[in-house]
Structure 1
């Protein structure tokens, strides 16, 4: 009887110890708007998650839910993660902003990190990358390489992040080619290969021989490859399987260092609510290898621009610049402030068409 009690006590102690060890793990959740295999945006966020696992090993547990629609369903998924013991939750799409704030109020001890939004709270940080710097590089290549002088652009949603990218690409395409025109098709989705392919085909039919995209799948690359003589750029991920043509370069989102740093901050108790907006210089935005389909002089020009953006000697939005309606925006040598860029809701002069509501 005494022996049995000893065994029971030992088992209970072992169970408590095992539970304590499990509790010592930092649990990190990720909410994704697309599938992890999208080849673009979500694929790169998931690489960041895997980097957290590689960095901290058995000190962390990561969980994720993919293809979560923006809206009420996102709030349900975040709530479930918090209830299941997540210490830190990354919500990785603009439309998750209000759901993140709502759930954070209910779970004040859980830390939240929202990508590309602007609403903070005591337990909610925001982070994004200066993708518009990469668009400047793409615009330069596009302006130099187009033969039809028509560049097609697939937009996801008409939010400041996307509008900034369109403006930056256009400004830099026009700098090297005053005759270039942009045609913009709004897909109203982040990830829908069929819609993205259709958008690319429409733009190609309208004469575009360069396609840029702010959507997440590789479908526009495949459509351009099928059309022939059309160049593209990888979005969020390298999409190098389409190199050297049609994909001639890419914007690569590198979330791993940020995810590792913020997880470590939770682990060591130093986490505070911050707003992070980094670009090429900090390594959050990468420029994928420029393929040999790009002439050497154009490649050199694009890389020089990349270096100037990285070291801060040049800003992608430098005046003189006017708004689409002809009103003055930036004087010669003046650069845009972050507040204006964060809320950008206008096209620059020369872009045709209206921004949808």
Structure 2
């Protein structure tokens, strides 16, 4: 039976459509030519000194990374945790640059020299180093004025202590940690001049057992409030087990020790990470030493626990507004050192350079700074 003319035309039409579809499959349509593919994404990497599960420092940075990923979907973020400071950091930084990461956030003080060294080999990569002070054309530093939140948390501790001995578990005797201890102590003494802040050094950022033991030693020495500059909630857990109170750090540590934690001095890195990446994408980023104040929301206090009095809350809020407005800042004189010598005269304010190089304790601190 011969095919009809209509049948022949139908067959030819089907064949023509098939050829057209095959052609479209081998070439991206014009309207999709400018659409982003995964390969086009800006690759951003983070290296952490501890695990993201530390509940503290690295955890706070990773919350910032997650915020960045959510706010800027066309960025691809990765992280490597528990990277020791030193030669290992240099190796990891180099590997991240080789894998195509164009922005690398190195989040610990001890990464500073490795960052500077690796950055020289990868001039097309932007490196941001947290808490350091060395820069280059493609290296910037960033940090926040945590001393402002420290002072406010000191007000809470000073109002809460009954023994007038407050323990402070401290990591390393570097200016950042010393500055925090001093700010906290000034806050304590602003509401309780009889209270002392007793310091114990652990010489580690991340060691849950050592941090907890240091907290226990301070409790045994008479402290009834435990503060810290450490990466885990170990000191807060020691306070809770002893039926005492504490001040957390890095992130809200109330989940780890709800009966002890009155508040925490916390980091909020997300907005900084977003602003930095937007500047890099726009081509407007320049190397700088960013030291953000509380008014930038990079540092703050976590919500108060139920054990914090209304009086304490009101005192903190009043002082917080003074800090945010710029009318007053923590290291405004008169300030004396441990020996009673006036280091900052009344009405004077310490410069950033002076605060960034702290190597002495204020009056009210019970402890020494190892050489």
Q: Please confirm whether the aligned pair reaches a TM-score higher than 0.5, indicating the same fold.
A: yes
Q: Residue 319 of structure 1: which of 333, 337, 344 is its match?
A: 333
Q: Secondary structure at the match of 1:291?
A: coil
1:136 is the counterpart of 2:151 = yes
Q: Secondary structure at the match of 1:77?
A: helix
Q: Secondary structure at the match of 1:356?
A: coil
1:158 is the counterpart of 2:173 = yes
Look up the match of 1:52.
68
1:323, CA displacement in angstroms? 2.4
Look up the match of 2:353.
339
1:269, CA displacement in angstroms? 1.7
Q: Secondary structure at the match of 1:76?
A: helix
1:69 is the counterpart of 2:73 = no
Look up the match of 1:41.
57
Q: Residue 118 of structure 2: which of 82, 89, 103 is its match?
A: 103
Instruction: Note if contact 2:237-2:257 (Cα within 8 Å) is conserved in structure 1.
Output: no
TM-score, normalised with respect to structure 2: 0.89
1:13, CA displacement in angstroms? 8.1
1:9, CA displacement in angstroms? 12
Look up the match of 1:4.
none
1:277 is the counterpart of 2:283 = no
Look up the match of 2:15.
none
Distance 1:67 1:203 in 2: 28
Residue correspondence of structure 1 range 1-357 to structure 2 within 5 A: 21-57=37-73, 59-228=74-243, 230-242=244-256, 245-357=259-371
1:255, CA displacement in angstroms? 0.4
Q: Secondary structure at the match of 2:265?
A: strand
What CA RMSD, in Å, does the superposition of the two structures yield over aligned residues? 2.3
TM-score, normalised with respect to structure 1: 0.93
Unmatched 5+ stretches in structure 2:
1-21
Distance 2:58 2:203 in 1: 17
Instruction: Note if contact 2:200-2:367 (Cα within 8 Å) is conserved in structure 1.
Output: no
1:12, CA displacement in angstroms? 9.3
Instruction: Note if contact 2:236-2:257 (Cα within 8 Å) is conserved in structure 1.
Output: no
Q: Secondary structure at the match of 2:317?
A: helix
Instruction: Note if contact 1:30-1:89 (Cα within 8 Å) is conserved in structure 2.
Output: yes
Deviates more, 1:273-282 or 1:239-248: 239-248
Q: Secondary structure at the match of 1:48?
A: helix
Unmatched 5+ stretches in structure 1:
1-6
Distance 1:115 1:97 in 2: 8
Deviations 1:2-46 (A, max 9, x none): xxxxx89976989xx89x834421000000001011111111111
Instruction: Note if contact 2:240-2:257 (Cα within 8 Å) is conserved in structure 1.
Output: no
Higher gyration radius (CA): 2
1:293, CA displacement in angstroms? 0.4
Instruction: Note if contact 1:75-1:103 (Cα within 8 Å) is conserved in structure 2.
Output: yes
Look up the match of 2:6.
none
Q: Secondary structure at the match of 2:37?
A: helix
Deviations 1:248-275 (A, max 9, x none): 1111100001101111122222221111
Q: Secondary structure at the match of 2:72?
A: helix
Distance 1:350 1:268 in 2: 48
Deviates more, 1:98-107 or 1:243-252: 243-252
1:282, CA displacement in angstroms? 1.0
- How many aligned residue pairs are there? 350
Q: Secondary structure at the match of 1:235?
A: strand
Distance 1:53 1:81 in 2: 18
